Amino acid sequence: MERDDGIQVLRRAAAALDEIATAPGRLRLVDLQSRLGLAKSTARRLLVGLVEVGFAAVDDDGRVTLGERLLGLSGANATHIAAAFRPTLERIAEATGETVDLSLFRRGQMLFIDQIESAHRLRAVSAVGGRFPLHDTANGKAALAMLGTDEADALLTGLDPPQRDALRAQLAEIRTTKVAFDRDEHTAGISAAGVAGRAAGGHIVAISVPAPTDRFLTHRDRIVAALRDALDAPAWRN
C-alpha cells in the first residue's frame, strides 16, 4: 500500500510539473487544483512539497514556475546546446530584426531553451523554460518533420482526422522545403517560420522567428532566407 501511495504522489508531482512547464508563470494554486482534479488541500501539499525540494517556485503574486533545482537537473544538455547555437541566433536576429527562439524536442513538446528578443515595441516573446505543442507551432512542425512518418503520426493521435491529414500534408512539404510555418495558429495575431535539425547527441533542435502577423508577412522572405542560411551553421550535426 505504501509503495502504491508513493507512486501516486510521484504521478501527481509529474503531472503538476508538466502543467507548470506548459504555462510557466501563469498558473496559481487554484489553476493547478483545477487542472489536476485535486482537492485544494491536496494540491497545496503537493505544491509546498515541490517548492521545498526546489522543483517549483512561487512568486509574490502566487504564480508558479519551475524551480532552479529542476532546471539545473534538466538543463545540462540544454545549456550546452544553447551556447552552441547562440552565434546562429544572433546572426538571425541581426538579419531579421525579430525575436529568435531556440527550442528542443522533448517528450512530445518543444522546450524553449534560449531567445533573443526583438527591439520592436510590438514583438513576440515566449518564456524560456516553457513548453509548446508540436502541431500548431513553426518549431514544432519543423521538429515533427525530422521524425519518420510513423513516429510523427504517433504524436498526432490527439488531432481530429481533418487536422491530422492537413498536418501530414504540411510535414511532407516541410521535409522538402526545410521551412515550417505557423500562420496565426498557436497565437492569434502572431505568425512564425522555423527550421529544425539534429545537434550534438542527436537532439532535435529548432530555431523559429515569430512576429506580429502583418510584419511577418511583410518580411517573410527575409526571415525565411535567414533561417535557410542558419541550416549551414556548424552547431548542426546531420
Of 183, 100, 187, 195, the residue nearest 141 (C-alpha): 195
Query: Which residues 6+ apart lie within 8 Å of 73 measured at CB?
Result: none
What are the CB-based long-range contacts (under 8 Å, 24+) for 156-160?
Answer: 159/135
Q: What is the pLDDT at residue 238? A: 46
Collapsing DSSP states into helix, strand and coil, what is residue 20? helix
Q: What is the pLDDT at residue 149? A: 87
| Tens-place pLDDT, residues 74-111 | 555 677 788 889 999 999 999 999 999 999 888 788 98
| Tens-place pLDDT, residues 48-66 | 998 888 888 887 778 887 7
230 vs 82: which has the higher pLDDT: 230
Q: What is the pLDDT at residue 89? A: 94
202 vs 209: which has the higher pLDDT: 209
Query: Which residues 6+ apart lie within 8 Å of 189 measured at CB?
Result: 212, 213
Query: Which residues 6+ apart lie within 8 Å of 25 measured at CB?
Result: 59, 63, 64, 65, 127
The number of residues making up the chain comes to 238
Collapsing DSSP states into helix, strand and coil, what is residue 25? coil
Which residue's C-alpha cell is 512547464?
A: 21
List of domains in the chain:
2-66 (1.10.10.10), 72-230 (3.30.450.40)
Distance between CA atoms of residues 129 and 62, nearest Å: 18
Q: Which residues face 57 on adjacent strands?
A: 65
Write down the pTM of the prediction.
0.69
pLDDT band at 14 (very low <50, low <70, confident <90, very high): confident
